[in-house]
Amino acid sequence: MITYDDFEKVDIRVGTITRAEPFPEARKPAYKLWVDFGGELGEKRSSAQITAHYTPEGLIGRQVLAVVNFPPRQIGKVLSEVLVLGLPDAEGQVVLIGPGQEVPLGGKLF
């Protein structure tokens, strides 16, 4: 079990996907994403295995939640700077998590 102090260490923010491209070099089908968090965080890169439910074009402008304080991780040729969050559907395919209505960029989940 974790404490509330442990939870507070995880920095989850809202950002808007500004760019999405296929990531053919990935081991499993994935997209390269660019997510704008506004302000001091700015735009960050990520990769996500979300090809079952989304197209690159359909992702542009979508607000998503992401962990922004993990260290960057090299995934193939992409340096992933944030972890975009999602939940599995009944078949185990990722469905992105985002706010139910538009909110200011960089807003922190609490």
Per-residue pLDDT tens digits of the chain, which is 110 residues long: 999 999 999 999 999 999 999 999 988 999 999 999 999 999 999 999 999 999 999 999 999 999 999 999 999 889 999 999 999 999 999 999 999 999 999 999 98
Looking at domain 4-96, its CATH architecture is Beta Barrel (2.40)
DSSP 52-95: TT--HHHHTT-EEEEE--SPPEEETTEEE-SEE-EEE-TTS-EE
| Domain layout of the chain by residue ranges | 4-96
- Residue 53: closest CA among 19, 90, 15: 90
d(CA 11, CA 108): 7
- Residue 16: closest CA among 84, 89, 93: 84
Residue 33 tokens, joined? 């994403």
- Whether 59 contacts 15, CB under 8 Å: no
pLDDT of 30-48, one tens digit each? Answer: 999 999 999 999 999 999 9
